[in-house]
Amino acid sequence: MAFSTVTSAVIQGLHVEMLQVEADVSSGLPMFHMVGYLSSEVKEASERVRTAIRNSDFILPPKKIVINLSPATVKKHGPSFDLPIALAVLSSIGSIPADALKHTVAVGELSLNGQIQETAGVLPIVSEAQKAGCKTCILPRQNIREGSLIDGIQIIGAGSLKEICEHLTGERKIKPYSGSVREIEKDLSGAVQLDYSDVQGQEALKRASEVAVAGGHNLLLIGPPGSGKSMIAGRIPTILPPPSMEESMEITKIYSVLGLVDKRYPLITGRPFRSVHHTATKAALIGGGIVPCPGEISLAHGGVLFLDELAEFPKQVLEVLRQPLEEHQIRITRSRGNYVFPAGFMLVAAMNPCPCGNYPDVTKCTCTEGQVQQYLGRISQPFLDRIDICIEAPRVEYEVIRRNEKLETSAEIRRRVCIAREIQSRRYQGLEMSTNAMLGAKEIEKYCRLEKEEEHLMRRAFTNLGLTARTYHKVLKVARTIADLEGRERIGTEHLKEALGYRTLDKKYWGR
């Protein structure tokens, strides 16, 4: 009887901590004892592992078995330690050669019959294992395509404990999985998408959406029910530039931690679009829990967070969005440590102008002045200041709906957006930003310079519209994006006027 160790990993938020599963089998009273700062589901692994080993045709000797998950300062949670614990025990009693587990990481949950169940968070674990110099990763068979997204590490997938033991002893070798990312992308390329050509009318909304996407700006749509706000918002991902491989991997890792990746096509090659219901809590948005995990904001990272019926959200829920919108990350502090989640998303919101939805049409609106102001008052001024573009969605006339004409497609709009994004990428090369919406005060001073005529226009607008310093900067950033869409280096008065037009609607409703 001897000592053995197997490498595994635990996920803390989005951070992966590599750890060692140590097993010692010695003489003494028969027992199976586990230590190492364990959560309840990890402590329960002792019963699952012993039963799985027995049902895999191995015999555990009546000895004292002690399992330690090191380091002891890191809280272990989740059922993914079952497989490494079983392998460590079997190695200690001589059923598996100790050399077979060198430079190898193992994760997986065991059923009582010895079957290996899929687990969440495989992609970040394999990525960290590869960085740590591990050569092989043993995974549940359901997770092998996800793990194969990481180059430079061998992926072994097994369906049962007995199967992986036969592989390690050399009785029946399992062929390492060799998948192709191109195959996954090809399979996903035929997915049916929505298109802007489906939307009749609302050209102003389409233009505002194009400007918002081109610069990564936040967008608010206000209008009566049925005016097409949700249709426009739902099609925004179709004009977003496709993510790079690095961005796809970052997005996929977030979804992997929550177990939301498609096991057959794990790589997320499109931009996320998260539509959140107005009953969502603060924790659902920013993340949380005993062991904090990402929320809807982080799931929208690299894509769009859509809040329909914005005024129906509790005010305290909306207020938690303010900091992520500015800093593009979320910090959650717990006694065990700090957790940082990415929050590089584009906020798109839609709302009615009043409870009945018909304001300011006094011939149809049934709300009192007090009801309208109370409804609009659920959106605070600091929150509105973080919205770059605010546009009104009027009712669509019958003649527009029945108009039979060829409309601009999402592909055509996306081409212009990609050109504008490429201009911004070259301009901000070497800086920690990629779009105009991410510009800080110093960068605005450098990249959004105004000539004398434009400066005079902004001075008058600042006074007459009652702009704050934040909204002033946002107008300049939107104007910079409009100029980029036209391929212009200098911001002109026409660009400023359009950008200012996107700041007058909030004054119409909230400035009364």
Distance of CA 212 to the CA centre of its chain: 19
Tell me how far apart the alpha carbons of residues 1 and 27 are, in angstroms, rounded to a whole number.
Answer: 8
Collapsing DSSP states into helix, strand and coil, what is residue 74? coil
Q: Provide φ and ψ at 144, rounded to 5°.
A: -70, -35
Cβ–Cβ < 8 Å for 273, 304: yes
Rg of the chain's alpha carbons, rounded to an integer?
28
Residue 427 host element (H or E): helix 410-427
Tell me how far apart the alpha carbons of residues 52 and 46 are, in angstroms, rounded to a whole number.
Answer: 10
Cβ–Cβ < 8 Å for 228, 199: yes
Tell me how far apart the alpha carbons of residues 488 and 455 are, in angstroms, rounded to a whole number.
Answer: 17
Tell me how far apart the alpha carbons of residues 258 and 214 are, in angstroms, rounded to a whole number.
Answer: 30
Tell me how far apart the alpha carbons of residues 299 and 279 are, in angstroms, rounded to a whole number.
Answer: 18
Q: Which alpha helices (H) appear in 56-180, and where do they start and end?
A: 82-92, 122-131, 144-147, 161-169
pLDDT of residue 185: 53
- The CATH H-level superfamily of 196-434 is P-loop containing nucleotide triphosphate hydrolases (3.40.50.300)
Place of tokens 């800093």: 327
pLDDT of residue 291: 79
Cβ–Cβ < 8 Å for 123, 149: yes
| 3-state helix, strand and coil shares in percent for the chain, rounded to the nearest 5 | 40, 20, 40
The per-residue pLDDT string of the chain (512 residues; one tens digit each, 9 = 90 and over) reads: 588 999 999 998 899 999 999 999 998 889 999 999 998 889 999 999 999 999 999 999 999 999 999 999 888 998 899 999 999 999 999 999 989 999 999 999 999 999 999 999 999 999 999 999 999 999 999 999 999 999 999 999 999 999 999 999 999 999 998 765 555 554 443 344 789 988 888 899 999 999 999 999 999 999 998 888 999 999 999 999 999 999 999 999 999 999 999 888 899 988 999 999 999 999 999 998 777 899 999 999 999 999 999 999 999 999 999 999 999 999 988 777 788 999 999 999 999 989 998 887 777 888 988 898 899 989 998 899 899 999 998 888 777 777 777 789 999 999 999 999 999 999 999 888 899 999 999 999 999 999 999 999 999 999 988 888 889 999 999 999 999 999 999 999 999 999 999 988 877 777 65
Q: Is the domain 3-169 a CATH 3.40.220.10 member?
A: no
User: For residue 98, which amino acid is it?
Assistant: A
User: For residue 216, which amino acid is it?
Assistant: G
For helices 203-215 and 410-427, the axis angle rounded to 10 degrees is 30
Burial 332-363 (b: 16+ CB within 10 A, else e): beeeeeebebbbbbbbbbbbbbbbbbbbeeee
Structure tokens given for 12 = 């803390």
Sheet (strand 389-392) strand order: 273-276, 304-307, 346-351, 219-222, 389-392
Tell me how far apart the alpha carbons of residues 331 and 338 are, in angstroms, rounded to a whole number.
Answer: 7
User: What DSSP character marks residue 39?
Assistant: -
- State the pTM of this model: 0.91
Collapsing DSSP states into helix, strand and coil, what is residue 62? coil
| 3-169 against 196-434: fold identical | no
Residue 317 host element (H or E): helix 315-319
The domain spans of the chain are: 3-169, 196-434
Structure tokens given for 284 = 């659902």
Q: Which alpha helices (H) appear in 65-106, and where do they start and end?
A: 82-92
